């Protein structure tokens, strides 16, 4: 009897994760990642997440309930708008993690972005579409300076080069520090390209977890659940260079995060450790924004 003999074991749709612990981890990751943008989910979403984790509701049911809940909201209320985004994006993150679908290709970033933000304003989030202009963002740990993000005209080429360099990487059966550094560097460079106008950190985080699952690794939920802001700040430090201030990109902070995620390490992850003190001591050293825009002068 061959493997394709349908009288043996028939093909069927992929099941949702069968164990409560996995479902709970997906929700913890999804909800934790909203903190990257200062978003808090509604109590209703938290209740639905608990019911899905316990097996009372399917993901399809939670999606229907949360869509209905936000269908007639007062869009003039900023707090309600924020919870709406947190709820809808959390749902989509869990769906992606549960599906485990992955393609090692630059297009996967657009697929993830389109899935996460498809329920939101298409003019603002432009789901799956690359940014149209160069962007900057002031960072608290840099006293208001910004990372230099990828040029819109070079996104395709930059991503192609990164994936070409990463393709065939052998991470073996466990991550040592050298492999952690290599993986961290790949994720940091993807983030620096910043292909989209909004939602880059959440997109890259979901891509990273899907990629790790594709490689056959399990991850814990604690780092993304409790330290998503640290994750973003570590990405900033991994991509910030300022020769005048004698600051070069530092991958170690991001490596600590992934060691906790992948190896069960217990490194303290505190964003205050990532603050670049020299930029506060001398704001004239800010490189990518005018020193007059320093947060602390």
Average pLDDT, the chain: 91
More confident residue, 77 or 289: 289
The confidence score (pLDDT) of residue 224 equals 87
pLDDT at 1 over 60: no
- Judged against a pLDDT cut of 60, whether residue 168 lies above it is answered with yes
- DSSP symbols for the chain: --TT-TTTS---PPPPPSSHHHHHHHHHHHHHHGGGGT----HHHHHHHHHHHTTSS-HHHHHHHHHHHTTT--TT-HHHHHHHHHHHHHHHHHHHHHH----SSTHHHHHHHHHHTTTS-HHHH-TTPPPSS------GGGTT----PPPGGGHHHHHHHHHHHHTT---TTS--HHHHHHHHHHHHHHHHH--SSS-HHHHHHHHHHHHHHHTT----SHHHHH-HHHHHHHHHHTT--BTTTTB----HHHHHHHHHHHH-------GGGG--HHHHH-GGG--SS-GGG-S--
Domains of the chain: 14-100 (no CATH), 105-297 (1.10.3290.10)
Over residues 188-221, the pLDDT tens digits come to: 999 999 999 999 999 999 999 999 999 998 877 6
**Residue pLDDT, tens place only, 58-92:** 999 999 999 999 987 555 666 677 899 999 999 99
pTM over 0.95? The answer is no
What digits encode the pLDDT tens for the residues 182-197? Answer: 999 999 999 999 999 9
At 101-131, the pLDDT tens digits run: 999 999 999 999 999 999 999 999 999 999 9
| Predicted confidence (pLDDT) per residue in 42-51, tens digit | 999 999 999 9
């Amino acid at each position: 009897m061959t493997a394709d003999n349908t009288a043996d074991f028939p093909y069927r749709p992929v099941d949702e994760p069968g164990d409560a612990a996995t479902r709970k981890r997906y929700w913890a990751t999804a909800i934790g990642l909203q903190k990257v943008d200062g978003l808090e989910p509604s109590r209703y979403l938290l209740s639905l997440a608990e019911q899905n984790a316990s097996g009372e509701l399917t993901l399809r049911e939670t999606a229907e309930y949360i869509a209905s809940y936000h269908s007639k909201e007062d869009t003039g209320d900023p707090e309600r708008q924020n919870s709406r985004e947190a709820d809808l994006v959390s749902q989509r993150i869990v769906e992606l993690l549960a599906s485990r679908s992955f393609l090692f290709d630059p297009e996967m970033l657009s697929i993830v972005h389109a899935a996460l933000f498809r329920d939101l304003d298409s003019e603002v989030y432009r789901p799956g579409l690359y940014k149209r202009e160069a962007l900057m963002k002031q960072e608290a740990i840099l006293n208001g300076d910004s990372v230099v993000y990828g040029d819109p005209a070079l996104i395709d080429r930059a991503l192609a080069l990164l994936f070409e360099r990463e393709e065939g990487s052998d991470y073996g059966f466990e991550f040592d520090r050298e492999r952690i550094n290599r993986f961290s560097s790949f994720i940091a460079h993807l983030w620096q390209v910043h292909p989209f106008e909004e939602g880059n950190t959440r997109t890259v985080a979901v891509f990273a977890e899907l990629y790790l699952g594709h490689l056959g690794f399990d991850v814990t939920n604690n780092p993304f659940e409790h330290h998503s802001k640290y994750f973003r700040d570590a990405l900033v430090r991994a991509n910030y260079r300022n020769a005048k201030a004698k600051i070069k990109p530092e991958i170690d902070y991001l490596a600590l995060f992934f060691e906790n995620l992948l190896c069960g390490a217990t490194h303290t992850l505190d964003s205050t450790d990532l603050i670049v003190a020299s930029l506060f001591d001398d704001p004239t050293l800010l490189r990518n924004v005018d020193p007059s825009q320093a947060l602390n002068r």
